[in-house]
Amino acid sequence: MTLPEKTSAGDVAAAFEERFGFPPAGVWAAPGRVNLLGEHTDYVGGFVLPVALPQQTYAAVGLRYDGILSCASTLTDERVELPVSELAPGSVRNWAAYPAGVVWALRSARHDVGGADVLIGGDVPLGAGLSSSAALECALGLALDELHGLHLGRAELALMCQHAENAFVGMPSGVMDQMASLCCQENYALYLDCRSLKGELIPFALAEHDLELLVIDTRVAHKLVSGAYADRRMSVEEAAMALGVRSLRDVTTGELGSALDKVDERLRPRTRHVVTENARVGIAVDLMRGGYYAALGQLMTMSHASLRDDYEVSCPELDTAVDTAMQAGALGARMTGGGFGGCAIALVPSAQRTSVEQAVTAAFAEQGFRAPHVFSVTASAGAQRAQ
């Protein structure tokens, strides 16, 4: 896994014309995301707090009228051609399952979507837990929405893209990634209720506070379609059934003690994480409104401990990144994304940015890990037509 070179809409448009022999109808862009707080809470209808990344995935698209979806990527010379009428869950096993899934989801909802030529490119790191798959889905979904005049709302389109990932690709994720990619705005975090899909933009202009958000890519690729992620989701669903609630989102921290007494011992740590993580998101929003970023950092670190100990989705590289960043002066740090690899984030004073990066890099070398990629990000805008 390497950090992609900076890519522009023009680069992807030129690659499309070279590959297909004519210019695209347009290029659409959707960002990756990092989640400040609210991990593994979206699929219980809970609360999350993501920001969109400056890094984008681009979809250059042209319509075709022979019923064929032709998918290409700047990362490979391969072109995958699929009859749209034959798309079905499990029918596509490689990377093309993501664009194919979006077409299938729209058609399953009785939208008149036919064939297309699609070229995917961009600079969202792959396999790093920064939601490159959702960015791809949202860029293509937005393109097809515009080209076919579907006039879908952002939340409706996010649900379509989530359905593509859940039912077609086979990843049982929540809707946070797609909502973040489609609905975030520059200098704001998205406070999202994943049950109602109601969102509120919370100011997150760190430069005004002499702060930076560092992403520490551990370069440990995570593969969430494997059983560990699905096992966590089944555990919290089982706990909700035992408690007689719709989901663990409906259990408050005040009810947590009695709830833990009612669930099987093996489910207690998972239950504790989800309930306390939901509460941390609400507290974080109040702190951000008041500009209390040091306290926000403490919540981030508490979240990591919960993900590490109760939800057991961290790994040695993520723990090293978090612990070292804190020792080097970060206000807070945590893993972000589904876990089992991927990235950590650290909220750091701008004056400490270099020392934190150097300390993490040195700690990885001392542990014999691959050198991490460390880069600063700002809260950026959601998906849009780029060309």
DSSP state of 4: P
Of 325, 373, 375, the closest CA to residue 1 belongs to: 373
Q: What is the DSSP string of 135-169?
A: HHHHHHHHHHHHHTT----HHHHHHHHHHIIIIII
Helices 132-147 and 176-183: angle between axes, nearest 10 degrees: 60
Quick check: is 177 catalytic? yes
Strand 68-73 and strand 116-122: pairing?
parallel
Of 28, 384, 10, 379, the closest CA to residue 211 belongs to: 379
Return all residues near 99 (Cβ < 8 A) that are at least 6 apart.
59, 69, 71, 118, 120, 136, 137, 140
Rounded to the nearest 10°, the torsion over CA 129, 133, 138, 144 is: 170
* Structure token pair of residue 142: 């937005």
Rounded distance, CA 359 to CA 325, Å? 7
Rounded distance, CA 68 to CA 80, Å? 10
Among residues 11, 117, 177, 217, the one annotated as catalytic is 177
Biggest distance spanned by C-alpha atoms of the chain: 65
Rounded to the nearest 10°, the torsion over CA 237, 240, 244, 246 is: -70
Rounded distance, CA 317 to CA 296, Å? 23
* Structure token pair of residue 361: 């890099």
Supply the residues annotated as catalytic: 177
